[in-house]
Chains A and B, each alone.
Chain A
Amino acid sequence: MTIIESNEEVVLRIKDLEKHYGMKNVLKGIDLTVYRGQIIGYIGPNGAGKSTTIKILLGLEGDYYGKVEVFGEEVTEKNIDYKRRIGYVPEIAELYDNLTACEYLTFVGELYGMDIKRTDEKAQRLMKVFGLEEVYHARIASYSKGMRQKVLIISSLLHNPDLLFLDEPLSGLDANSVMVFKEILAILAAQGKTIFYSSHIMDVVEKISNRIILINDGKIVADGSFNELKEQNKEGTLEQIFNQLTGFNEYKGLAEEFVSIVEEG
């Protein structure tokens, strides 16, 4: 495994992280250091422990073993100040959807300690960029999936965070919005923001991340840039590398079985 050399400041450091749910070990010793300005593609099969890691980093899950530091401060239940510098887009579009976008976004801004007028104005302008100025005062419950996702993205960036956790942030967005958003991520990273990007869509991860971390069964099994992973594994695409490293090679057999059942009539 390659450790990317960097003189930049450390944003996030995880050491020997373990987490158990009852008898089940979800995380079995994660070691990870993330530097400023990196876009990290955090990938792995369902149930590998991706969301659990992110939840621990956000302080949503306690009772873990190991050391977790964000911006040099240890993550504990008492310590909430580091959250001011974090933005989060959850995998499931959870928001208070009987509020209007205006109400929801100003609320979130205020939780981060922003001034309400300033948040309102900023939120409105951001909504406009995403083409949503018309529905700014409509209830989120009436939005389409893509529109909700855009509101979530805006709410994660309102307070200009230094570290972003994005869990499947593109779901529901149309191709044009995807392009805009990818560009936004590139610019943010160039400005020195750190992005933790978790997704199942390998093509996107391959293109936008400058460091890819593959986690399988609670352990990190690959860590490096896409080119490095390609050299190590002698495979052409991230998808193939993913299949290889997670030990999944029966996809052809499963597909054939599936179709043959379909055709039984």
Chain B
Amino acid sequence: MKNFQTLRFLDLFRGLFECFGINYPVMRRILTVKLTMDGRRTPTIFNQNAKKKKKPEENGFIKSLGMYVLLSVMLIPLVIFGENYLYQMSIFYGIVMFLVMTSMISDFSNVLLDVRDKGILLTKPVEKKTLNAAKTVHICIYLFFLTGALTVAPVVIGAFRHGILFLLLSLIGLILVNLFIVVLTAIIYYFILRFFDGEKLKDIINYVQIGLSVSIAIGYQVLARAFSIVDMKISFSPSWWQFFIPPIWFGAPFELFLSHHSNVYLIGFSLLALLVPIIAIVIYSRMMPAFERNLQKLTNNSGAGKRKERQWKNGLINIICRSNEEKVFFRFADNMMRNEREFRLKVYPSLGMSLILPFVFMFNEIQMNSFAHLVSSKWYLAIYMCNLMIPNAVTMLKYSGKYKGAWIYKTAPIQSLAPLYSAALKVFIVNLFLPVYIILSAIFIGIFGMKIIDDLLVMFVTAILYTVICSNYLKGTLPFSESFEDAQQSGGLKIILALLLMVVFAGIHLAATFIPFGVVIYFILLIIGTIFAWKLANRTVWNFS
């Protein structure tokens, strides 16, 4: 294990730790192990395009910081334009808090929630105090780098623009914000663990991770427009409801000291910014023992699972699955895809993206022309953008965190495994694609009117056909039978080919709209083609043993 730079820096404070009766060498050793293990995790922010070609031992976290530095560019205009401090700095702190908090929950929950620590470390001659200190320092190191990456550029540039007092206020503000976030996260966990069991908490963390992936991706879309969005003319006057919005507390001192606007609200906000984090820390240290006790819930999944009978789904199964085997596999794939967190983490972000992408493109169009122009145009074909998720999601079908369970396919007395594929794809369409499609369709009909219904139907059939074509990527592997570790998410060329195909489909559709009854004829042809493709795939691609 290597000697971390961070820890060498920490060595400078050795005396301070020993003052508090902490066994410094032991704490340092624990930290070395923790940092080594962190280096072997992939942070969520990388999930979308992580290449598993492991470079020898470089910390994925440090690399993910690069992404945050990029995001921090977005914050620069916020800081330097104008002197409407309360507004600008509140947004600045709001974004920082959001990013730090989500990243904390998604990548660092395992530090707060590691139940192994107790069994492994406390059975050794390690004092609880030392272990807690190690945990705290670990979180601090992480937050230091994260906050640093996110704010160094804007704060330094801001300091040039607004002077040294700005620098000072920002630094104090950031430290307080971090304290606040740590405690807030811990308190949220505390309450979740108090009322639910560990599984629920893991689910919630999972959804936060998904949310983070989506919002980072959208963040990049917004990045380009950051300069135009920041509207410095918004007048923003303090009022009572802002007491409930923490970022505003942290923005207030800037207004107070830099613009010399003093009023009761601003002083109140500033006091809150100072006092709330400190009070929170005190409460937190009081709650620590109770928190630890609740943590034990993570290990026992006592919660008797409620079985939800879904009537509509049972009905649906009977309609869309023909053979009994296919029905069995449909239920199985349905359960797998709904329950597996890792699968959700890989696929749900792209669902979120495909919900949003069509609008990103239309937004561009609206900016260039007008909304009325958009409605009368053929921009409704932007709904094809939501098909972008299909290649990725279909490839993911073959992976599972519990891939070792796949032996069951081999030992069960089943003639052909083709129904497994068709069932998995049907579940994908019903569970994942359909909701996105329905939401988008509803919004699109709202924008473009009822006249596009036939186009939407064409698009739906195309998506099914497209799914069948993409299932070629599954060839040779069974669904849920490989480890996510092997996921070559880069499969770049394949995905690009698939995307080109999507453009071709959209192009044909566009062409069909120019021919009288073209869309209807195209629709009928598509249905025939899709049925044919499905049968063909059933016999060739999916059929092997």
Q: Mark A109-141, 1 if CB is under 8 A from B, else 0.
A: 011110000000000000000000000000100
A residues near B32, Cβ cutoff 8 Å: 107
| Contact call B40/A60, Cβ cutoff below 8 A | no
| Contact call B121/A94, Cβ cutoff below 8 A | no
| CB within 8 Å for A88 and B126 given contacts A94-B116, A110-B29, A111-B29 | no
Within 8 A of B (CB), among A81-100: 81, 83-84, 86, 88, 90, 92, 94-96, 98-99
Within 8 A of B (CB), among A60-109: 60, 77-78, 80-81, 83-84, 86, 88, 90, 92, 94-96, 98-99, 103, 107-108
| CB within 8 Å for A90 and B119 given contacts A107-B33, A111-B26 | yes
Q: Mark B283-306, 1 if CB is under 8 A from A, else 0.
A: 000000000000000000000000
A residues near B127, Cβ cutoff 8 Å: 78, 80
B residues near A139, Cβ cutoff 8 Å: 40
| Contact call B37/A112, Cβ cutoff below 8 A | no
| CB within 8 Å for A111 and B126 given contacts A60-B118, A90-B119 | yes
| Contact call B123/A60, Cβ cutoff below 8 A | yes
| Contact call B33/A103, Cβ cutoff below 8 A | yes
| CB within 8 Å for A88 and B123 given contacts A99-B36, A103-B1, A107-B33 | yes
Q: Give Cα A58–Cα B122 distance, bound, in whole angstroms.
A: 8
| Contact call A58/B123, Cβ cutoff below 8 A | yes
| Contact call A112/B33, Cβ cutoff below 8 A | no
| Contact call A60/B122, Cβ cutoff below 8 A | yes
| Contact call B116/A108, Cβ cutoff below 8 A | no
| Contact call B123/A86, Cβ cutoff below 8 A | yes
A59 within 8 A of B: yes
Q: How large is the interface on A (under 10, 10 to 19, 20 to 34, 35 or more residues)?
A: 20 to 34
B56 within 8 A of A: no
| Contact call A96/B37, Cβ cutoff below 8 A | yes
Q: How far is the CB of B127 from the nearest CB of chain A, in Å?
A: 5
| CB within 8 Å for A83 and B124 given contacts A60-B119, A99-B36 | yes
| CB within 8 Å for A112 and B125 given contacts A60-B119, A95-B120, A96-B120 | yes
Q: Give Cα A110–Cα B29 distance, bound, in whole angstroms.
A: 8
B52 within 8 A of A: no
Most buried by A among B1, B32, B123, B127: B123
A residues near B121, Cβ cutoff 8 Å: 111
B residues near A110, Cβ cutoff 8 Å: 26, 29
Q: Give Cα A83–Cα B125 distance, bound, in whole angstroms.
A: 5
Within 8 A of B (CB), among A5-47: none
| Contact call A80/B125, Cβ cutoff below 8 A | yes
Q: How far is the CB of A115 from the nearest CB of chain B, in Å?
A: 12
Q: Mark B124-150, 1 if CB is under 8 A from A, else 0.
A: 111110000000000000000000000
B residues near A77, Cβ cutoff 8 Å: 128
| CB within 8 Å for A113 and B125 given contacts A94-B116, A96-B120 | yes
| CB within 8 Å for A108 and B40 given contacts A60-B118, A90-B119 | no
| CB within 8 Å for A112 and B119 given contacts A96-B37, A98-B37, A99-B33 | no
| CB within 8 Å for A59 and B122 given contacts A110-B29, A111-B26 | yes
Q: Of the candidates A78, A90, A95, A111, which one forms a contact with B124 in the assembled complex, judged by CB atoms under 8 Å apart?
A: A111
| Contact call B125/A96, Cβ cutoff below 8 A | no
Q: How far is the CB of A63 from the nearest CB of chain B, in Å?
A: 10
Q: Give Cα A111–Cα B23 distance, bound, in whole angstroms.
A: 11
Q: Give Cα A58–Cα B118 distance, bound, in whole angstroms.
A: 11
Q: Give Cα A238–Cα B277 distance, bound, in whole angstroms.
A: 60
Q: Give Cα A108–Cα B127 distance, bound, in whole angstroms.
A: 14
A residues near B33, Cβ cutoff 8 Å: 96, 99, 103, 107
| Contact call A96/B116, Cβ cutoff below 8 A | yes
A residues near B26, Cβ cutoff 8 Å: 110-111
Most buried by B among A58, A98, A107: A107
B residues near A78, Cβ cutoff 8 Å: 127
Q: Give Cα A254–Cα B357 distance, bound, in whole angstroms.
A: 60
| Contact call A94/B120, Cβ cutoff below 8 A | yes
Who on chain A is nearest to B122 by CB?
A: A60
B residues near A84, Cβ cutoff 8 Å: 125
A residues near B118, Cβ cutoff 8 Å: 60
| Contact call B124/A112, Cβ cutoff below 8 A | yes
| CB within 8 Å for A107 and B119 given contacts A80-B125, A84-B125 | no
A residues near B40, Cβ cutoff 8 Å: 98, 139
Q: Give Cα A107–Cα B30 distance, bound, in whole angstroms.
A: 8
B residues near A92, Cβ cutoff 8 Å: 119
Q: Give Cα A90–Cα B122 distance, bound, in whole angstroms.
A: 12
| Contact call A107/B29, Cβ cutoff below 8 A | yes
Q: Give Cα A139–Cα B40 distance, bound, in whole angstroms.
A: 10
Q: Give Cα A78–Cα B127 distance, bound, in whole angstroms.
A: 7
Who on chain B is nearest to A91 by CB?
A: B119
Q: Give Cα A239–Cα B118 distance, bound, in whole angstroms.
A: 33
Q: Give Cα A113–Cα B26 distance, bound, in whole angstroms.
A: 9
B residues near A81, Cβ cutoff 8 Å: 125
| CB within 8 Å for A108 and B124 given contacts A94-B116, A96-B116 | yes
Q: Give Cα A53–Cα B371 distance, bound, in whole angstroms.
A: 72
Q: How far is the CB of A113 from the nearest CB of chain B, in Å?
A: 7
Q: How far is the CB of A224 from the nearest CB of chain B, in Å?
A: 29
Q: Mark A47-60, 1 if CB is under 8 A from B, else 0.
A: 00000000000111
Q: Give Cα A48–Cα B126 distance, bound, in whole angstroms.
A: 29
Most buried by A among B26, B121, B124: B124
Q: Give Cα A139–Cα B126 distance, bound, in whole angstroms.
A: 24
A residues near B36, Cβ cutoff 8 Å: 99, 103
Q: Give Cα A78–Cα B37 distance, bound, in whole angstroms.
A: 29
Q: Give Cα A111–Cα B127 distance, bound, in whole angstroms.
A: 11
| Contact call A99/B37, Cβ cutoff below 8 A | yes
Who on chain A is nearest to B28 by CB?
A: A110
Interface contacts beyond A94-B116, A99-B37, A107-B33: sample of 10 additional A-B pairs, CB < 8 Å, sorted by A: A60-B119, A60-B123, A77-B128, A80-B126, A83-B125, A96-B120, A99-B33, A99-B36, A103-B1, A111-B29
Contact sample, A vs B, 26 pairs, CB 8 Å cutoff: A58-B123, A59-B123, A60-B119, A60-B122, A60-B123, A78-B127, A80-B126, A83-B123, A90-B119, A90-B123, A96-B37, A96-B116, A98-B40, A99-B37, A103-B1, A103-B36, A107-B32, A110-B29, A111-B26, A111-B29, A111-B30, A111-B125, A111-B126, A112-B124, A113-B125, A139-B40
Which 4 pairs from chain A and chain B are nearest by CB?
A: A83-B125, A111-B124, A98-B40, A88-B123
